[in-house]
Amino acid sequence: ADGPVTTGIVTAELVAAVRDRLAASGDDADAPAVARAVREVGAVLGHDELRAVVRAVRAEVLGAGPLQALLESPGVTDVLVEGGRVWVDRGAGLQRVDLDLGGPARVRALAVRLAAAGGQRLDDAAPVVDARLPDGTRLHAVLPPVAEPGTLLSLRVHRPQGFSLEDLVRRGSVAPVLEPVLRGLVARRANLLVSGATGTGKTTLLAALLSLVPADERIVCIEEAAELRPDHPHVVRLVARRPNVEGAGEIDLASLVRHALRMRPDRVVLGECRGADVREVLSALNTGHDGGCATLHANAATDVPARLEALGALAGMTPRAVAAQAASALDAVVHLRRTRGLRHVAEIGAVSGGSDGLVVERVLACGPDGELEVGAAWPEVARRWGLDPVVA
């Protein structure tokens, strides 16, 4: 045999040899093919060791290699690689994981392979990439020397099974006192902006809210990557496309918003408002398409006006124009926060415009313990939204 001879030991070298033998033969990475490759490289393994090699080789060929087991672990939302160090987030903040990735060259090779699996190029000429893996995992990768001290990988796990609003209440992400408010906003076709920092659960909450939309309505979702999975019978998804290596073929979010308006939508949803597309979104919500939603990165509900102004500037809009459009288009801001590892709805704000420009007034606030703080403007805002002003 021309590979490593081992007896009952599963090593990285053995997995690499079996993987290379499969690649040379052109066989799929199914169990019989892996078993043949093991015999061909001269390895003698028991049943359990052979199963371990099959899993490892399939992860190398079809998945994320040594990171695959972490991505499949229940509760894991993010896996991060910094050179040779690995971190995971299981919902309570980042934790270091003792995992051997095999050195800088293998980490780089893993990043390049994952990018290719997502249909993207990653090399010295294009050292930064965003991609979507076949299983839905979101990948961001950076190669040295742009990345220091070594290759950086950020993997956001995609869970095909979403959460209902009831699930989020049980998990503590939505306080029970806020559930009827959120249901009422959806039922009354309020235009919502879901805000929060990275990793606070904006997409999860938005999908849960869209699952409350009546079944006879058509939802058109516009996203940079297909992440929203509402439990609804009539959802149309439009996904942006990046330019190819020649710089051609791009389809951006702004153009998709314009196309969505021609599709007879009952509700228009933008997965993430992050650039010049804000102009089209505000325009759409101002043309009779009530019940629309979008997400936005912001540190607090009261920071939303400044964020919208900054995005509007990218679209050539003046602060006054942004304020006028947003005040007319948006009804409420639902803001999420992460406190001691718990992602939760922390604030609900009312959007209005005046002489001072766009204002988001906090009318309800809730800590991770579920204690509710009611703003002075809540009774008036509740009546304006058609909701019961009594919350308890």
For residue 44, the enclosing domain spans 12-62
Sheet holding 357-366, edge to edge: 235-239, 219-223, 267-270, 293-297, 192-196, 332-339, 342-354, 357-366, 372-374
Check pLDDT > 50 for residue 5. Answer: no
391 is a domain residue? no
Which of 44-48, 160-164, 329-333, 364-368 shows the lowest per-residue confidence on average (mean pLDDT)? 44-48
Q: Over the range 299-312, which residues count as b (16 or more CB within 10 Å of their CB) and which as e?
A: ebbbbbbebbbebb
Listed ranges 67-71, 119-123, 135-139, 180-184; the one with the highest mean pLDDT = 180-184
Closest alpha carbon to 116 in 162, 64, 161: 64
312 is a domain residue? yes
> Of the residues 41, 62, 83, which one is the last residue of a structural domain?
62
Helix (H), strand (E) at residue 352:
strand 342-354
How many domains does one find in the chain? 3
Question: For 20-31, what is the mean pLDDT?
Answer: 66
In sequence order, the β-bridge partners of residue 268 are: 220
- The CATH number covering residue 72 comes to 3.30.450.370
Same structural domain for residues 96 and 45? no
Tokens standing for 182?
């959120």
360 is a domain residue? yes
Task: Return phi, psi of residue 382, to 5°.
Answer: -60, -45
Same structural domain for residues 40 and 115? no
pLDDT at 212: 97
Q: How far apart are CA 345 and CA 332, in angstroms?
A: 13
User: Letter for the amino acid at 261?
Assistant: L
Q: How many residues comprise the chain?
A: 392
Which of 26-35, 266-275, 329-338, 372-381 shows the lowest per-residue confidence on average (mean pLDDT)? 26-35
The more confidently predicted of residues 74 and 174 is 174
pLDDT confidence bin for 187, thresholds 50/70/90: very high
Task: Return phi, psi of residue 143, to 5°.
Answer: -95, 155
pLDDT digits (tens, 9 = 90+) for 119-153: 888 999 999 998 888 888 889 999 999 998 899 99
295 is a domain residue? yes
201 is a domain residue? yes
Same structural domain for residues 29 and 92? no
pLDDT at 8: 44
Task: Return phi, psi of residue 288, to 5°.
Answer: 90, 5
Same structural domain for residues 256 and 222? yes
Same structural domain for residues 85 and 27? no
Q: What is the CA radius of gyration of the chain?
A: 24
Question: For 70-87, what is the mean pLDDT?
Answer: 88
Q: How far apart are CA 132 and CA 140, in angstroms?
A: 9
pLDDT at 266: 94
392 is a domain residue? no
Q: How far apart are CA 182 and CA 293, in angstroms?
A: 13
pLDDT at 223: 87
1 is a domain residue? no
pLDDT at 226: 78
pTM: 0.76
The more confidently predicted of residues 66 and 140 is 140
Check pLDDT > 80 for residue 316. Answer: yes
Same structural domain for residues 131 and 254? no
Same structural domain for residues 266 and 149? no
Helices then strands, counting H and E runs in the chain, come out as 13, 15
pLDDT confidence bin for 1, thresholds 50/70/90: very low
Check pLDDT > 70 for residue 57. Answer: no
- Indicate if the alpha-carbon torsion angle 374, 380, 381, 386 is positive or negative: positive
How many Cβ atoms are within 10 Å of 218's Cβ, its own excluded? 16
Closest alpha carbon to 163 in 230, 219, 227, 221: 230
pLDDT confidence bin for 16, thresholds 50/70/90: confident
pLDDT at 61: 61
DSSP state of 171: T
Same structural domain for residues 307 and 350? yes
Question: For 106-110, what is the mean pLDDT?
Answer: 89
Check pLDDT > 80 for residue 56. Answer: no
pLDDT at 66: 81
Same structural domain for residues 212 and 100? no
How high does pLDDT run on average in the chain?
A: 85
pLDDT confidence bin for 347, thresholds 50/70/90: very high
Same structural domain for residues 106 and 51? no
Same structural domain for residues 206 and 127? no
pLDDT at 6: 43
Check pLDDT > 60 for residue 2. Answer: no
pLDDT at 35: 74
pLDDT confidence bin for 3, thresholds 50/70/90: very low
Check pLDDT > 80 for residue 392. Answer: no
Same structural domain for residues 54 and 182? no
